[in-house]
Amino acid sequence: MIEFQQVGKSFHGQAVVDDFSLAIAPGEFVVLIGRSGSGKSTTLKMVNRLVEHDRGRILFAGQEIRAFQPEDLRRRMGYAIQSTGLFPHWTVERNIACVPELLKWPAARIRDRVTELLELLQLPPDVYRRRYPHELSGGQQQRVGVARALAADPDVLLMDEPFGALDPITREALQLEMRRIHRLSGKTIVLVTHDIEEALRLGSRVVLLDHGRIVQAGTPRQLLAEPASDLVRDFIGRADLGLRLLALDTVASRMRPGPIEPNNAPALRDTDSLREALSTLIARGTSQLPVADATGTLCGLLHLSDLVQPSA
């Protein structure tokens, strides 16, 4: 879908991205992460030609991106940023509809698409369609920004620190929303963040950059279990490696299945992460808790000792 071949970019003679090579397959959720100045945002902006690369090649759908007119390329790539960039004097509906209108979609199709996206982002259309950005919370504005980026059904969704300005609770809710949208839509998503928790939670593949070069690329589990260097270990957080590995697995993967006699102990959910389960076990001062499935039926037990067993 997207391929970087030895790409480079310099500003004022200083290399910001250097010898960058990466292939992103259709349907992947790739997260670019690194410290400030690592080149991650510049790399993202080169994909839709907001920044032009100096060296190497960037392919989109098998063609060099310079074979496309910039406006044609951008219409095939949704773009969501931290500030949302919503037009303040336009309603939510018109903000979402702006790209389909530029593409001259029929009015009925545009209205249906706005309704579909508001429902997908859990913003009831009858409530939010006619509101203005100043009438929305920060999290709601960010949802509308994502809806606008998805409006023309793009091949790729590019996201540059989209949740960086939000409070932790709203941020986590929107991260879960993006995982759900990715699962339902199968879109190729490339997201930039400086937050390792966000990267590990969202990415099917995480690419860590330093001084414009790839330090390590792999699944969240690969980065946590097999860090390629001390720089990777330090960025992830040496003291947090074990806890972050627990966050990748669910209670269902470690519980001891079997019929459980009901008691007064609140149950863990089988979809909880093992990290959440550990926190609950410690907070309740117990070495085991029952586990319930989606219907609320008790289906097993999780012991504290189960959390230190290697994953399958």
Distance CA 80, CA 93 (A): 17
Mean pLDDT of 48-61: 95
84 vs 158 pLDDT, higher one: 158
pLDDT surpasses 80 at 127: yes
From residue 266, alpha-carbon distances to 259, 277, 282, 293, 303 in Å are: 16, 12, 14, 13, 14
Helices (H) and strands (E) in the chain, counts: 12, 14
Distance CA 304, CA 281 (A): 7
- Quote the pLDDT of residue 166: 79
Q: Which amino acid is at 102?
A: L
- Quote the pLDDT of residue 310: 65
Average pLDDT, the chain: 91
Domain ranges of the chain: 2-238, 251-308
Q: Which run of H or of E encompasses 73?
A: helix 70-75
Say which CATH superfamily domain 251-308 falls into: CBS-domain (3.10.580.10)
pLDDT surpasses 60 at 312: no
Distance CA 77, CA 219 (A): 24
- Quote the pLDDT of residue 292: 93
120 vs 31 pLDDT, higher one: 31
191 vs 85 pLDDT, higher one: 191
Give CATH for domain 2-238. Answer: 3.40.50.300
Tally of residues, the chain: 312
CB 175 within 8 A of CB 163: yes
- Quote the pLDDT of residue 259: 81
DSSP string of 109-137?
A: HHHHHHHHHHHHTT--HHHHTT--GGGS-
